[in-house]
Structure 1
């Protein structure tokens, strides 16, 4: 057995909620530079000027950012990103099993339909709660820190304050519709794929319930999610990063992208998206499974200690 052994008692909803948020923060800390590179590649071509910084590939983008803006630029928006994961991942991942049981009327084995509905529900709910943190994260990642260029925001708190003062409270929920669409797709693809791969690996005794099983399941989930969600993700990034008045709606943003840059624009940043989602899924799911087991083990130890003292 690689890693902690599964608990004899299923993890409680509270353990899943806290574990998902903590695991997502760990994954963000590891993969944030890839996310920043993805955002920069996605918005490239948006400004129709010859002075725009050109990024080529994942490694090229990261090296360009380090060379021109310093290593810290790779972690622009990290505070907002961690805030986002604690609220966002806790809901969309931590409540997934509860939603799955609800749609499955409490039966032990859930069908594809119940899983997809559960993923859409928790994904959409998470966006409504965490959208302001996502808007701020994207804006901070997208802004250039080149010397001589005045940044739009000096930090996370300044970004929240500036967006509200310039765009109103609604500005913090800018792009909610495309983000709900994106995360309904992402959450369903990610969690359902992970669920099914892991379930079949265990069912056919290809792997046991340990780290290799979680690794393979997470990798497959990351690839499928990137293929399905990349077009919506690019539109979401462009629209959320746009100044007031540039696009009247997310569909208008998508149409403008198509007319100016063609279909390939919807898969800009695909490689960093896959590298980021694949690695993020691996770190997150492996951490999540281990955190759940560690928390349940600690809970059992505390209960045993309490009972023995009575």
Structure 2
């Protein structure tokens, strides 16, 4: 029987380089974006719907496809795919760097609180550097309705970004930064902690043990790890979308910040409005995490198997 690092009592866990994890995340992000963009478009349209024009996920999707063409379900794909690729690279790489600060010098293990803090830090960093500006552009593109390209305000991602900067200043690309930081920080803290816990609980897989999980095993762990975040962070996601959708250069802003937006939405639309778009988020994020980890674990696992041999004490 093949001996792994976890089988040896005198084995030292060696670190996987952050660049390997960054690469694994970026490859997973490309696959996720291509598969799940229509669900993201539907989620955005539902969150921006203040009048009840859409009666649910299926009605929203069929309405968009019927009135704007099937290709409209992939609106914003370029910034979404670029955003996911860069986001996952930064998330996985920065999390690996941060975890390095919490590793035990003797065993190489990371405590649960160290894993949680590292995940939160990675989420905050990705929110500020990548997620907010890319999602502002994506949401502005997704909220546009109509078939005529000439009548659309934003002609594409680059034109959209330039228009926002010209009309609203550079700060316009960081509209909704506060709820995005809260959403991503909390999501990643929970996700990295849960993913590690499910790997150990379900498959007895420990990072650095030289084993490569089968893709379906990684996908199950990733799916389960991705379920808690959307429920906990629903209000932050709705507020983020509303803040990003409103332009700064078109009169007085309806929502003036994170807490003002929460109070306004609650007063005008009720408590459940703060979880609008939750079902499509649950349809997108857990499967998305399943796809990402199914790809990422193969890259990381192959690196472990080839380059991290047992290192006896």
Regarding TM over 0.5, the answer is yes
Specify the alignment match of 2:240 in structure 1: 236
Tell me, in whole angstroms, the C-alpha distance in 1 between the residues paired with 2:275 and 2:128: 25
Measured after TM superposition, the shift of residue 265 of structure 1 is: 0.5
Specify the alignment match of 1:39 in structure 2: 44
Tell me, in whole angstroms, the C-alpha distance in 2 between the residues paired with 1:237 and 1:250: 11
Cα offsets for 1:146-193 (capped at 9, x unmatched):
559932311011101000000001111111111111100111122221
SS of match in other structure, 2:151: coil
The 1:295/1:133 distance shift into structure 2, 3 A limit, reads: farther
Tell me, in whole angstroms, the C-alpha distance in 1 between the residues paired with 2:74 and 2:220: 28
Specify the alignment match of 1:103 in structure 2: 102
Match of 1:22 among 23, 27, 35: 27
Correspondence 1:1-310 to 2 at 5 A: 11-45=16-50, 54-106=53-105, 107-130=107-130, 131-146=132-147, 150-203=151-204, 209-244=213-248, 245-293=253-301
The 1:149/1:243 distance shift into structure 2, 3 A limit, reads: farther
Measured after TM superposition, the shift of residue 268 of structure 1 is: 0.8
Q: Which runs of 5+ in 2 are unaligned?
A: 1-12, 308-313
The 1:284/1:148 distance shift into structure 2, 3 A limit, reads: closer
Tell me, in whole angstroms, the C-alpha distance in 2 between the residues paired with 1:260 and 1:149: 34
SS of match in other structure, 1:95: helix
Tell me, in whole angstroms, the C-alpha distance in 2 between the residues paired with 1:208 and 1:156: 38
Tell me, in whole angstroms, the C-alpha distance in 1 between the residues paired with 2:112 and 2:93: 19
Tell me, in whole angstroms, the C-alpha distance in 2 between the residues paired with 1:32 and 1:104: 37
The 1:257/1:149 distance shift into structure 2, 3 A limit, reads: farther
Aligned residues: 285
Tell me, in whole angstroms, the C-alpha distance in 2 between the residues paired with 1:254 and 1:282: 31
Q: CA RMSD in A?
A: 2.5
Tell me, in whole angstroms, the C-alpha distance in 1 between the residues paired with 2:220 and 2:301: 19
After TM superposition, the score normalised by the length of structure 2 is 0.83
Contact 2:213–2:298 (CA<8 Å) still a contact in 1?
no
After TM superposition, the score normalised by the length of structure 1 is 0.84
Q: Which runs of 5+ in 1 are unaligned?
A: 1-7, 301-310
Measured after TM superposition, the shift of residue 61 of structure 1 is: 1.4
Specify the alignment match of 2:311 in structure 1: none
SS of match in other structure, 2:254: coil
Cα offsets for 1:98-139 (capped at 9, x unmatched):
312313455533222111110111111112211211211121
Contact 1:19–1:94 (CA<8 Å) still a contact in 2?
no
